[in-house]
Structure 1
Amino acid sequence: MHGHHGDEVHEHDRGLSYDLPVLARRRMIRLMAGASLVPLVGCSSEDGTAASAPSSQASSSQTSPGGTSSPATDASVECAPIPEETEGPFPGDGSNGVNVLKESGVVRSDVTRSFGDSAGGTAEGVPLTITLTVVDAASGCGTPKKGAAVYIWQCDREGRYSLYNDGVTDENYLRGVQEADDQGRVTFKSIFPGCYPGRWPHVHFEVFGSLADATAARSITNTSQLALPQDVSETVYATDGYGESVRNLGELSLESDMVFRDGHDQQLATVTGSTGQGYTATLTVPV
């Protein structure tokens, strides 16, 4: 178990008392979004697992023979906004101590290295390119949100968050902001995150209306998390440096994770690639 999380493991993402209102809102959103689709879309089961995807993205992944994951799509399913999630205790956006968003250099695509006056370290691990496509949910996910901005942050191979956890408090790697292009896309060069006790492998992100809002750390429009598929995670964690992630992942499932257990269809990324060449994770983000 990682000593750097300590008690934080048991209250990660600020605990169940913090998350219950979030989960309740998500259930209400899902019920409202699916009200007009009762004949076509099944309801969520009592244990919180989704019977079918609630959006046109339908990003629940189906594993292909090559060990990658591809989404099942159904244009007839209604587009719903990305589920709102807790930002967790390590956002670095000024809401819980340090604020990396106002630092010069945070707008970047390669987040593997620290920048500015930090210690200048590099996050080691299997390469992971993260591409998020921000679209307008109100228009049926057909309109890209050009000019929106996305801030991502994640743990490193050892399960540590820069700026917060012991050993990396002087680092700010695995954090960065990008402005969406004409297609609503933002792309980050990162590493596959480790799996620490109590949480499924994931990447946090916040969406802002503009780059100016993001770098001023104001007016967040959406806060959510990207989940990584089990088959790819298991493959990555069999490589050097991810030893503790093997055990931690074995004790979890998407259905038991405190964030994704009430439904992860819209948050499970499509992942392709290999440990040798690196992976690419893609996700559509309706806002």
Structure 2
Amino acid sequence: MERKNFLKSLLVGAASVPALLSACSKDDAMPTTSSGTTGGTGTPGNCTVAPTETEGPFPTKAPASYVRSDITDGKAGHKLTAQITIANSNNNCAALAGALVDIWHCDAEGNYSEYGGSGMQSTNYTGVHFLRGRQTTDANGLVTFTSIFPGWYSGRATHIHVHIYSASGTSLKVTQIAFPEGSNSAVATVNGYTKGLSGYTYNATDNVFSDGVTQELATVTGSTSAGFELVISFAVAA
């Protein structure tokens, strides 16, 4: 799939943003697939391996140090409960128990913990670790995280990074979660927090998601008052 480069049309002359977007671009490697498809909810016994995506420039530096289900760390934002199910495409898409699942995402302002003070992110959050965590899948292949609804930053749609490992620590998949968009979506409801959505990059022109989000698009329900619930399934070859 040809990678889309939309920097010139968005932010000509901005030196720091092109470096960030380049680092966030989709990997060239195509995923190995089995028969059938898996969308945001998954179908046991009939699945496709999740697409491989880049970790981006802000991966968790020591993920084993953040084994926890609540990754909020005091960050303000609308509550988000994320339920992620992992299935094994090498075993008829049966639930994969004992897998390690890391997630990380930006805060309401679009900043990542563990990084900053540079051209990519001016706000310095190098000494904190908010919105990062690791959980182990249960017998149903499920992990649950409590977080906040992610904000956004220039050049990227709303997203969550996911890295899946075997129980022994072997990397099985690096991918990302995309969010539904449109007038009634959670993205529209949250409206970029105080930033609004002016200048927001939607999935169709996002440099990771522009080739399609069928296997990475979560189901997101809820409200700003009650909080949001995100549900998605990923298949990996374990």
State if a TM-score over 0.5 links the two structures: yes
The structure-2 alpha-carbon separation of the partners of 1:15 and 1:152, relative to structure 1 and needing over 3 Å to count, comes to closer
Counterparts of residues 197-236 of structure 1 (less than 5 Å): 197-210=154-167, 213=169, 219-230=170-181, 231-236=185-190
The structure-2 alpha-carbon separation of the partners of 1:245 and 1:259, relative to structure 1 and needing over 3 Å to count, comes to farther
Cα deviation, residue 58, structure 1: 2.6
Distance in 2, Cα, partners of 1:144 & 1:13: 34
Size of the aligned set, in residue pairs, is 214
Counterparts of residues 227-266 of structure 1 (less than 5 Å): 227-230=178-181, 231-237=185-191, 242-249=193-200, 252-266=201-215
Instruction: Percent identity, please.
Output: 35
Q: What one-letter code is carried by the residue in structure 2 that aligns with 1:58?
A: G
Partner of 2:72: 112
Structure 2, unmatched stretches of 5+, are: 1-13, 117-122
Distance in 2, Cα, partners of 1:8 & 1:134: 35
**Is residue 2:63 matched to residue 1:101?**
yes
Distance in 2, Cα, partners of 1:192 & 1:85: 21
Contact 1:195 1:245 in 2 (8 A): no
Cα deviation, residue 10, structure 1: 1.7
**Structure of higher RCO (CA pairs closer than 8 Å, 6+ residues apart):** 2
The structure-2 alpha-carbon separation of the partners of 1:58 and 1:205, relative to structure 1 and needing over 3 Å to count, comes to closer
Name the larger-Rg structure: 1
Contact 1:195 1:248 in 2 (8 A): no
C-alpha deviations, 1:136-171, integer Å up to 9, x for none? 112332x11100010100000000000102232221
Cα deviation, residue 237, structure 1: 1.8
Distance in 2, Cα, partners of 1:138 & 1:172: 34
Q: What one-letter code is carried by the residue in structure 1 that aligns with 2:100?
A: A
* TM-score (norm. length: structure 2): 0.81
SS in 2 for 1:138: helix
Distance in 2, Cα, partners of 1:15 & 1:181: 33
Q: Give the CA RMSD over aligned residues.
A: 2.4
Q: What one-letter code is carried by the residue in structure 2 that aligns with 1:139?
A: N
* TM-score (norm. length: structure 1): 0.68
The structure-2 alpha-carbon separation of the partners of 1:283 and 1:102, relative to structure 1 and needing over 3 Å to count, comes to closer
Partner of 2:8: none
Contact 1:132 1:187 in 2 (8 A): yes
The structure-2 alpha-carbon separation of the partners of 1:272 and 1:195, relative to structure 1 and needing over 3 Å to count, comes to same
1:128 aligned to which of 80, 94, 102: 80
Distance in 2, Cα, partners of 1:260 & 1:139: 28
SS in 2 for 1:255: helix
Partner of 1:281: 230
The structure-2 alpha-carbon separation of the partners of 1:203 and 1:8, relative to structure 1 and needing over 3 Å to count, comes to farther
Query: Where do 4+ consecutive residues of structure 1 move more than 4 Å?
Result: 73-76
Partner of 1:79: 47
SS in 2 for 1:12: helix
The structure-2 alpha-carbon separation of the partners of 1:245 and 1:220, relative to structure 1 and needing over 3 Å to count, comes to farther
Structure 1, unmatched stretches of 5+, are: 1-5, 35-53, 60-70, 93-98, 114-121, 214-218
